Structure 1
């Protein structure tokens, strides 16, 4: 019967509620008169019936206006109960007023008795239905998880409300605010953090939900670090600003983000620097569908460019970023012309035509092959894309009178031990040479480390490995890396690009380096699991060391030398490093082009070693094409004549 009622159409439920409330109000009035007169038989005259009719009509209208018939009984919260109380009070007031003006034979104390009887008749069935449904739904749950909410503020209260009809059961709240000690929230005690271990053991807690509102990332990191030794799953709700803006819901519980583990708070950007190269300008992003390129696009459209040209070699990536940006642009108070284009950065004629056609004023060059092992196995194409792709884009920018050209570089360009890093440093040298050759286009390079959540990042890999039961693979127990969020990196790139004078190399302050094995351990612990090793054979997840990959370093650096100076932004530094004249660079580019056209991996490597890249190579070749063709490792004299280059090009 209850199931039939709950599954009935909404209109039927509302009609039934109206019928019941009509009956309940009439019974409440009759019961009130009986209680006042001390008898169960009361004569009801025409005036009393008229008073009842007026009370009924006004009461039902009040209930409708208060939204009582929009509330779903099984999820009815305190707000609906307040509506019942207000509606009944209005009903009692109308009863008193109507009986007075009509001169009905209703004793003056009856309206007061009526309020309490009406509350009983109208409110009790609703509470009974809610409680019954709640008990049935809980009985149907296979497993009920006991959880604790860390944070007894508004976010904690809202979270507890949103999960009350799920399989989670909130046992208590925890908060480090001393003013909340001994208080109750939703009828549950608020404990100090030091009581957590005892509560977990006593109530068999399976998870702790973080509801920290607008707490800083540093604060969140400290709290998460304090929870790690408890060996319990930690999950969090979205930031309160995302909830208020509608980007997320309070019940969107998720695993702790790596940003919270790093504890690095972003610095408020300088609006003048964000606008300088974008607002009202035609902007082009190469590699627009990649991790950094796509985030640059997201931030660029917020700065009101006149046009945004999305240049990408991958059709799928271009489709995704265009679709996403198109949805965002519709919501913006300004219009942006979005131009998605497919092409390769190695096609100089195409790039030149695009830049001239759309009067491009600012270029963010994010297109690159960046995965170290992949480039080691594809040396020729990796160098062509990273070096010549950058050169051709830069030459196109000069021909098209582009004002600003910003290269997205990497910390792997510093004293590199791999082809990818050496090719990026070579690309920096190319732009520095071009900056000396001409002054129409301002070339700027921005160098930073790993970004969280990018393709190939260890964080999603670790998360997936933990989810499937492990093992978690780390290349070396001592390997360390710098990390930064993608939005912060893109924001700093835009600001650094605005500060360039021509040929500048900027490095971003990446904070403290992170030991990858410690990161893996923290992620395992925060998933509520134990590490399995020789001392803990009963653990859940094992950490395996797979060994350094070809060209991989134990640690990365951001500076080649010590000649570095600050800028107007505390997290952007200017590096003064060795460079070559354009004439010297042109000779090296000729050698590199001949080596690439001839598919000579050994000659490519020799040129990268000859250039002032500080490239150090102790690895043999792992390029499968080169190895399969059994090329000799010795270098023979190379013909760099124009006729030879022309022959190779054809």
Structure 2
């Protein structure tokens, strides 16, 4: 028997059941009305009424679409359809009683008893069949699988429990919810054991090592708090996405994901002025330097969302450029990505590309960014790449009429204590000076801190150390940094670029600073391990590294913008700044020593003060301090 024939016979069986329910409810209503003492003069009305009622109800049930659903998935929508059909049938019965005027007249109580019985039989039959089928198919799975706690006792938790019961992987042992009215209640037979804050106690008592956060309607701060409670309790966490991200038509279980560091940061999702950014990019050519790097590649992805005519990906690293090209060929085949190999310090190559493709917007993300590497043995290369490369690209952009030039800067440019930060501040100064000279090009700068998951960030390093079993190396127990997600940073760069008038230094809202030590501990816990298995050791601050990063220099002032996560810093040019003299030094073909680079940088960047870190701690002393 093929599927269509089987479904046809099942539909007929359901139809027959409903018609039998009509007869049972009709006779049952009269029996209840007369207390099961006999129908007397009403017997003919009952018999002939049933003969008339069955075909009428059959037409109504078919018209109401009662047989489009599948019994094993019977739910509230099916019950509502039954209610509407029975309600319509009561209107027909009432009209028939008036028009036909049977003698004796129909009891008025029948108009209440009959529909209640009919809904109970039809709805109850469907519910009983669903319970039978689920018990037969999934009943053996109950109590099978890893025990798990579900955090939240709302509708999403109910849907999740129902789906988990069909899985061999999980076994829900309890719910946690902060609503006191739900305490000790049950959802789908699972008890609410207590508040979310009691997860550590419940996990220990029930020997549970997994939890699922089912709070898609909660804000980012609430998610962060709950996620941290789980991580501190040593529980491996899974999470349901926000309500607006839940995909209609997909089961809840398939959209569950593991907790990550972004959840622990608890940052609200970025909302950008889409029409403003689209006006800047749609149908136009955008160029990204350093396009193979973490920030550059993400900028390309975000730009692709707005339908540019072309994206010019300018990158020195051949493999990174190839990887980006392959990704776009697969993920964004409709976007024309032009992969250009080149060095921003090569003026001829830069001019050639700008003339050939005429970009409207240039995002300059190419830079040497690793602080310790650029501090010793490579200081001169940092200056040439970050300063000379910026000037060549900026000067060419102004000469060829590029509308917007956006420098991707860093919080390390604020009161810099290292060569990398000072070179990026000098790049900002170049853009400020170019803005004073330029009539057509708008020069804008965007500062932000560390990006989660970027190639040079501490996150991949910690992940590799954890995979090896440790130790995880942290430079200092008090070191703090600002962190944000890479997609968030790229979106805000686009927003700043679209709203800039020229000469502004935009400062991204980086949220609250995070202790790197806490970050390391959270990553160890997220991996399912403990600090006993993966120890943490302190190595001392590295060359050019300071304990705390700043977002704004002391001499700077900021003003808000219409975007909550963007502010504008008004940074003045250094007194007596001579662009030509500075460029003569940077363009020199002679190699400069690290000490000479630091000495000359102090002249061009007055706020630059090389940082002398304290002596490294003895590991034993640091561990003792942490234990205290």
User: TM-score normalised to the size of structure 2?
Assistant: 0.74
Match runs of 1:119-134 below 5 Å: 123-134=127-138
Return closer, same or farther for 1:233/1:403 CA change in 2, 3 Å cut-off. Answer: same
Per the TM alignment, residue 365 of structure 1 is displaced from its structure 2 partner at its CA by: 0.6
Residue 580 of structure 2 corresponds to: 583
> CA–CA distance in 1 between the matches of 2:418 and 2:254?
45
The CA distance in 1 between the partners of 2:554 and 2:499, in whole Å, is 21
8 Å CA contact 1:506–1:574 kept in 2: the answer is no
Contact 2:309 2:336 in 1 (8 A): no
Matches for 1:177-326 after TM superposition, within 5 Å: 177-178=179-180, 180=182, 184-190=186-192, 191-193=194-196, 195-243=198-246, 251-265=254-268, 274=277, 278=281, 282-300=285-303, 308-313=311-316, 314-321=321-328, 323-326=330-333
Instruction: Report the number of matched residues.
Output: 577
Deviation string, structure 1 residues 166-211 (Cα, Å, up to 9, x no partner)? 2333344333345555655445444434554553344333333223
Counterparts of 1:99 and 1:427, CA distance in 2: 88
Pair 588,436 (structure 1): closer, same or farther in 2 beyond 3 Å: farther
Aligned partner of residue 395 in structure 1, secondary structure: helix
Equivalent residue of 2:226, what SS? helix
Cα deviations by residue, 1:329-370 (Å, 9 ceiling, x for unpaired): xxxxxxxx7442322243433432333344333211112343
Change beyond 3 A, Cα 1:297–1:245: farther
Other-structure match for 1:642:
none
Verify the 8 A CA contact 1:59 1:90 in the aligned structure 2.
Answer: no
Structure 2 residue aligned with 1:331: none
Q: Give yes or no for contact 1:372–1:552 (8 Å, CA) kept in 2.
A: yes
Within 5 Å, which residues of 2 pair with 1:29-428? Answer: 59=61, 65=67, 67-69=68-70, 73=72, 76=73, 78-79=75-76, 82=79, 86=83, 89=86, 123-138=127-142, 141=144, 143-150=145-152, 152-166=153-167, 167-178=169-180, 180=182, 184-190=186-192, 191-193=194-196, 195-243=198-246, 251-265=254-268, 274=277, 278=281, 282-300=285-303, 308-313=311-316, 314-321=321-328, 323-326=330-333, 338-346=336-344, 347-372=346-371, 384-414=384-414, 420-428=420-428
Pairwise CA distance, 1:323: 4.4
**What SS does structure 1 have at the residue aligned with 2:587?**
helix
1:122-172 superposed Cα distances (whole Å, 9 cap, x missing partner): 553442111111113447x4x33131323x344434433443422333344
Q: CA RMSD in A?
A: 4.8
Measure how far apart 1:436 and its partner are: 5.2
Q: How does 1:512-531 map to 2 (within 5 A)?
A: 512-525=512-525, 529-531=529-531
Distance 1:18 1:278 in 2: 55
**Greater Cα offset, 89-98 or 471-480:** 89-98
Residue 518 of structure 1: CA displacement? 1.3
378 and 54 in structure 1: CA distance in 2 versus 1, 3 angstrom threshold: farther
- Once the two structures are TM-superposed, the CA of residue 266 in structure 1 deviates from its matched residue by 6.0
Distance in 2 of aligned mates of 1:87 and 1:590: 82
Contact 1:609 1:615 survives alignment (8 Å): no
Q: Secondary structure at the match of 1:124?
A: helix
Greater shift, 112-121 or 399-408, is seen at: 112-121
Counterparts of 1:466 and 1:558, CA distance in 2: 29
Instruction: Describe the superposition over 1:371-417 as per-residue Cα deviations: whole angstroms up to 9, x where unpaired.
Output: 44665677776555434432322222022112321111223345656
Question: For 1:309 and 1:246, how far apart are their aligned partners in 2?
Answer: 38
- 2:596 corresponds to which residue? 606
CA distance in 2, matches of 1:247, 1:18: 26
Q: Report deviation, 1:243.
A: 1.8
**Which range moved further: 437-446 or 476-485?**
437-446
Change (3 A) 1:566 1:253: same
Deviations 1:208-229 (A, max 9, x none): 3223334332333333444554
- Give the TM-score normalised by the residue count of structure 1: 0.72
Give the 3-state SS of the residue equivalent to 1:21 in structure 2. helix
1:567 paired to 2:559: yes
Secondary structure class of the residue paired with 1:456: coil
The answer on whether the counterparts of 2:142 and 2:165 sit within 8 Å (CA) in structure 1 is: no
**Structure 2 residue matching 1:524: 3-state secondary structure:** helix
Alignment counterpart, residue 557 of structure 1, candidates 549, 561, 567 = 549
Q: Distance in 2 between matches of 1:572 and 1:9?
A: 69
Does structure 2 retain, via aligned residues, the 8 Å contact 1:452–1:486?
Answer: yes
Conserved 8 A contact 1:217-1:259: no
Match of 2:536 in 1: 543
**1:48: Cα distance to partner?**
8.0
Shift of 1:90: 8.3
Kindly state the Cα deviation for residue 588 of structure 1 after the two structures are TM-superposed.
0.9
Distance 1:91 1:440 in 2: 72
Deviations 1:245-303 (Å, cap 9, x if unpaired)? 89996642223332332344467656797578556754322233433224434544566
For residues 115 and 573 of structure 1, do their structure 2 counterparts lie closer, same or farther at Cα, with a shift above 3 Å needed? closer
Shift of 1:450: 0.3
Counterpart-to-counterpart distance in 1, 2:537 and 2:279:
48
